[in-house]
Chains A and B, each alone.
Chain A
């Protein structure tokens, strides 16, 4: 499964949920699949995706917005593994972390990450996240459906192929405008 195929599955099931995506190629490909108001692209905030998604989960707790969805990569998560520990510690039942693991820093020349040898799903289990595993689009769709229906915090370990989608345009957006778009969408949903 290519990353962009996984992102298509995710966007099909999350049009009404806040989705926080890690920087570089993942955000660019997500925007290329669907550039929606419910998407928060962390354009250059390295290793912060799970932390931000956890913050969003805390912010929407008890509201009509049912889930905070996070799309992270293995390199990004490994940059800030403590974020997974904090997510497990806080245990927000509305948090869904989708880890797209290709074992490389795909945005930086495909250099291997430690995930080449480490099982990040097992690490997630050790910090008390509920782990599901997916290796193709069908398994990802099924896992996502379950995480959106049953209480978490969830961690879906998704195996994808190395590489980026050729020809994906750069995300040349003003982060202030982008954050305001997401904030307006989210606070409107909370208030609805």
Chain B
């Protein structure tokens, strides 16, 4: 029997693989480990799923794919946008390169780290100030909503030729397995 959180993980994996990406780069977080492992385990032979050292690296590698007519996804944690912002603005946004970025949130309800909110809480405003579209998912959304939103965000990135971010808040007071 799977929890709601586990079902959300699975639906995100299905959404990502459903858009048939050429590559997925990740910087891990405990909250999205199941998503990353799901992508590693279920990606077809034409999709490379690989780690990078920092988030701006992911923007460089994945952002370059559309220049060759390809498309990729980044899976990361929201505190990494502090690292990624220069790469996002000077490369992906300025060169009009579609990238889907899926990031779990930190610093909200259920957060155990008393410092991480300092970067994570301002992330949506930081991204919007940089003119990067942000969509949110949390406990109020069903697993089906999570899958549909990720799918549509991928289409939005490609249709509008820009990086698009989906912020995923995994805290769920109904689910003891959900983690910050």
Are B67's CB and A58's CB within 8 A? no
- Closest Cβ of chain A to B161, distance in Å, is 9
Instruction: Give residues of chain B (70-99) contacting chain A, Cβ–Cβ below 8 Å.
Output: 70, 72, 86-87, 90-91, 94-97
- Closest Cβ of chain A to B63, distance in Å, is 7
Contact of B67 among A54, A56, A90, A176 (CB under 8 A): A56
- The A interface is mostly helix, strand or loop, or mixed, namely helix
Question: A44-B90, A45-B91 are known contacts. Are A59 and B69 too (CB-CB below 8 A)?
Answer: yes
Could you list 15 A-B pairs, sorted by A, with CB under 8 Å?
Answer: A18-B67, A40-B67, A44-B94, A49-B60, A51-B60, A52-B60, A55-B67, A59-B22, A59-B65, A59-B70, A83-B53, A86-B50, A89-B51, A176-B94, A179-B95
Are A55's CB and B63's CB within 8 A? yes
Let me know if B23 is at the binding interface, CB within 8 A.
yes
- In the complex, A20 Cα to B91 Cα: how many Å? 13
Q: Closest residue of chain A to B67, judged by CB?
A: A183
What is the number of residues of chain A that contact chain B, defined by CB distance less than 8 Å? 38
Let me know if B101 is at the binding interface, CB within 8 A.
no
Instruction: Give residues of chain A (28-52) contacting chain B, Cβ–Cβ below 8 Å.
Output: 40, 42-52
Are B53's CB and A82's CB within 8 A? yes
Question: A48-B91, A59-B22 are known contacts. Are A54 and B69 too (CB-CB below 8 A)?
Answer: no
Nearest first, the 8 closest Cβ-Cβ pairs linking A and B are A51-B60, A82-B53, A59-B68, A55-B64, A179-B95, A55-B61, A48-B60, A45-B91
Let me know if A96 is at the binding interface, CB within 8 A.
no
Are B91's CB and A58's CB within 8 A? no
Instruction: Give residues of chain A (79-105) contacting chain B, Cβ–Cβ below 8 Å.
Output: 80, 82-83, 85-86, 89-90
Q: Closest residue of chain B to A62, judged by CB?
A: B46
Are B63's CB and A52's CB within 8 A? yes
- In the complex, A60 Cα to B69 Cα: how many Å? 9
Q: Which residues on A sit within 8 Å (CB–CB) of B52? A: 51, 82, 86
- Closest Cβ of chain A to B41, distance in Å, is 19
Let me know if A187 is at the binding interface, CB within 8 A.
yes
- In the complex, A54 Cα to B53 Cα: how many Å? 14
Q: Which residues on B sit within 8 Å (CB–CB) of A59? A: 22, 64-65, 67-70
Q: Which residues on A sit within 8 Å (CB–CB) of B36? A: none
Question: A45-B91, A176-B94 are known contacts. Are A56 and B56 too (CB-CB below 8 A)?
Answer: no
Are B64's CB and A178's CB within 8 A? no
